[in-house]
Amino acid sequence: MGWGNIYKRRLKVFTLAFLIYLDYKALQHREKLTKKSKRDGLWEKAHERNARRVLKLIVELEGLWVKLGQYLSTRADVLPESYIRLLKQLQDSLPPRDLKEVCSTIEKQLGQSMNDLFKNFVSVPLATASIAQVHRATLHDGQEVVVKVQHEGIKTIILEDLKNAKSIVDWIAWAEPQYDFNPMIDEWIREAPKELDFDHEAENTRKVSTNLDYRREGLDKKPEHVEVLIPKVIQSTEKVLVLEYMDGIRLNDSRALEELGVDKQKIVEEITRAYAHQIYVDGFFNGDPHPGNFLVSREPPHRPILLDFGLTKLLSSSVKHALAKMFLAAAEGDHVALLSAFAEMGLKLRLDMPEQAMEITNVFFRATTPASEALETVKSLSEQREKNMKIIQEKMKLNKKEVKRFNPIDAFPGDVVIFSRVLNLLRGLSSSMNVRINYLSVMRPFAESVLKSDMNHGPSSNPKWVYDGPVHSDVEAKLRRFLVELGNANRILGIQVCAYKDGQVIIDTAAGVLGKYDPRPVQPDSLFPVFSVSKGVTAGMTHWLVDKGKLKLDEAVANIWPGFGANGKDQIKVNHILNHTAGLHNALAGIAEEDPMLFCDWDECLKRIALVAPETEPGREQLYHYLSYGWLCGGIIEHASGKSFQDILEEAFVRPLNVEGELYIGIPPGVESRLATLTLDLSDLNMSIPKPSIIPSSFTFDKISALIPLSNTLNVRRAILPAANGHFSARAVARYYAALVDGGVVPPRHSSSSLPPLGSHPHRPTFPSKKTSTSRKDRRKKDSSGPTTPNSDLYIRIPESEDTIDEVETKIFDAPKEKLHDAFLGIGDYKDLTFTNGRFGLGFKLVRTVDGSVIGFGGSGLGGSTAYCDINNRFAIGVTLNKLSFGALTGEIIRFICSELDLPVPEDYAVSRIVIN
């Protein structure tokens, strides 16, 4: 191709692109002056007019533009019918090349004459495409074959067309910045030239055929097996490919498919499954699934025949895992896993909007729609995009011009480009065949299989299953061996255990992986959802305010919290809240039925809790306030302090205990990569567990288990739920209880060899400021001597130098240890503030032995995470895990440690439970 022809092609392409752009822009203005009844007609004519222009130029230019036309012809889900109808001609019916040219290429490439090569060669091609055309032939041994012959000079044309396409994309990105397709064209420039080497295609064909061979022994028994046919490779060179002939019907031959009784739904589902296998299981997939590359076998059972493996993509193991994780995160609404998958595949966003990221991903994996619904689909997607851009505009405070030029994606990985193209082509294929494919159900087994098969859950296959941290004691060494046994028995997914004895760390162990579909190892600073273990920290915050003189335990809540006394709550006191005797045990339980996401609205829940009516007289009956406890205590804390709940948590415990980044109630943005993902251990959860008398009527297994999946969503994890939304590391919560058992004295830091170091995270949570009530303003004036910002210190910082750690004793409470313990337990001077022989003290669950003796206090969470301290033995422990059960595993670990240390075992963990495997 001479330079003259090159410039002519370029001029034609740019001229048409500009003409179509102006045509649609003019129509947008003309539409405003046209009656609504005639607008659809105007658009239909414009689509028909421009589709014909595009088709005419593509047929004239051939090359890469045919590929583009083929792609567009499959997008019946989003493109007007005119484009689909006209561009379908490009799938296999381009004007054929001269037979002399074809024969010349074959003889040059194979080194023999046509007569020596073939017994018979059909001169009329079966199909003519952008790069090559295919002829049917018979070898001298009688085998029926097809011969794929590359067009002469096509390589030069393709490479030039790629440059032109790049220029057009650059122009579009300049004119309409929100439509920056540079990552897509850059990846295409890298991959498309590979199609020009048929030796490469032959090798790809063999590889995919081996990967998808359903006839291999045992493969057909797996849910991820597929039943597709792929022609065998007979011979190949750079420009000629000889393949086994397979008698099939083209997907666009609707009449033939109907005559043979082919189930189109089943065919497209099987094609989709074949691609799911290639992407998620093999990590090696065909990047060009347009209708011309598929046939349906004539002989029953009718199976899809996959053709043309010139454009393929090889994924690294990490990207393959990330794509599988992204898919499953979308399927389960797991924002944390989604953002983690984005990070692992190199997709970077310019702003923190997890809800919109999930929404877009769900659109990406949405079920397909028939071509007849294309207009509605486009309209819906356009409306959703406008809605998202408005949210972005508000969040980023952009004006209209700025939002038009704003691209929320900072980096788009090349590996994802071909993957996206394949999914869009499959979607278009489904639409053109008028079938509906639910990607989330069809592809899920494949995404799950790759993560399950490649994850080393158990220590037997993973020597680094236990985190390689320092061993603090013989007990810890024995515990690690015990955890390995439990891990090999598939009892543990991910776990952390930390314990203090006599003010020193004796155990700090992490093991397993962060989630069922997250193979990253658990580390000491990983954050686990601990549910009601959060209550013990919330209770401590309330006592901290009492200790600072901001609150009294026997004070009426209505005196602290204006409006709380409504509907008969004027007699409820702070001690009633802490002791679970306020009569509000079922308060706000109906939110789950109304809208579970209301849990995330802190101010709304505080308003509602202030208006509910008690069911029993305060102090008369102890019933577990499993949800309402958090808002009740949280409201008291905020109104008594004049500060936000988060500020008090930081001020009272996080900074003085030096557990920055490892103790949150409501996580801030930026810690998602350290979050463990919860999964259910149904073997234990399905057991029939007796319901204690203190459990209220609204607390049922069905209701609570229905909420558990929500705990993996990012909006819930970011919410302030002081009763059930703690995200702690075991070493942070164990350190908290180690301080409480010693009356608030902060224990020495962990060993410097513990990596990452405790408190080493520089991140500070930043949350939206709350509106301050009049009473809070008054209290702020009254308490003006104290700090009013979260960065003010009410305590002595632990010195940074390890040499001086033991020289300074830091306390988080001023009261004597014995008085504090009496307050926590509700005994001595505080006996009258608690329910006689109840299960709770003032905010903490009482830890009893089998004989009924109270040995300490703490709190356990739904699913097995726990933390408590043994006062007499100066022992404190925290256990966090992500495989939820009713505590059978936790009990075994607690009993093991107590036995090794010769400590009394808490009643809740003294009896071994039967676990059904």
Active site residues: 288
H or E segment to which residue 880 belongs:
strand 875-881
Q: Tell the residue number behind the tokens 């001269």, with chain if given.
A: 98
Q: Where are the beta strands (DSSP E) in 675-756?
A: 679-680, 726-728
State the Cα–Cα distance between residues 110 and 104, nearest whole angstrom.
Answer: 10
Residue 876 in contact with residue 741, Cβ under 8 Å?
A: yes
Helix, strand or coil, per DSSP, at residue 566:
coil
**Checking phi first, is residue 346 left (phi over 0); if not, alpha (psi -120 to 50) or beta?**
left
Q: How far is CA 877 from CA 506, 880, 902, in A?
A: 10, 10, 15
| Burial (Cβ within 10 Å: 0-12, 13-18, ≥19) of residue 654 | buried
Sign of CA dihedral 559, 565, 568, 569: negative
Tokens of 634: 């949280």
DSSP string, 193-261: GGGG-HHHHHHHHHHHHHHH-TTSTTGGGSTT----B-PPEEEE-SSEEEEE---EEETT-HHHHHHTT
Handedness of CA 70, 73, 78, 80 (dihedral sign): positive
Listed residue (179, 164, 186, 130) closest to 16, CA to CA: 164
How far apart CA 262 and CA 257 sit, in angstroms, is 5
Q: How many CB atoms lie within 10 A of CB 755?
A: 16
Strand partners, 834: none
Which pair of tokens denotes residue 457?
């859950």
* 563: alpha, beta or left? (left if phi > 0; alpha if psi -120 to 50): left
- Residue 322: CB atoms within 10 Å: 23
Q: Check if the beta carbon of residue 349 is closer than 8 Å to that of residue 408.
A: yes
Q: Give the C-alpha separation, 106 to 241, whole Å.
A: 9
Q: DSSP string covering 346-415, please?
A: T-EESS--HHHHHHHHHHHTPPP--GGGHHHHHHHHHHHHHHHHHHHHHHHT--HHHHHT--SEEE--HH
Among the listed residues 740, 736, 737, 734, the one whose alpha carbon sits nearest the alpha carbon of residue 819: 740
Sign of the Cα torsion 29, 30, 36, 40 reads: negative
Task: Please confirm whether the linkage preceding 408 is cis (ω < 30° from 0).
Answer: no
**Spatial separation of the C-alpha atoms in residues 150 and 133, rounded to whole Å:** 7
Tokens 């009261």 belong to residue? 815
Phi/psi of residue 873, each to 5°?
A: -100, 10
DSSP secondary structure of 258-304:
HHTT--HHHHHHHHHHHHHIIIIIISEEES---GGGEEEESSSSP-E
Give Cβ neighbours of residue 305 (< 8 Å, ≥ 6 apart).
228, 229, 230, 231, 246, 248, 294, 295, 296, 297
300 prior amide bond cis, ω within 30: no
The enclosing H or E element of 318 equals helix 317-332
Q: CB within 8 A of 327, min separation 6: which ones? A: 280, 365, 440, 443, 444, 447
**710: DSSP letter:** G
H or E segment and range at residue 137 = strand 132-138
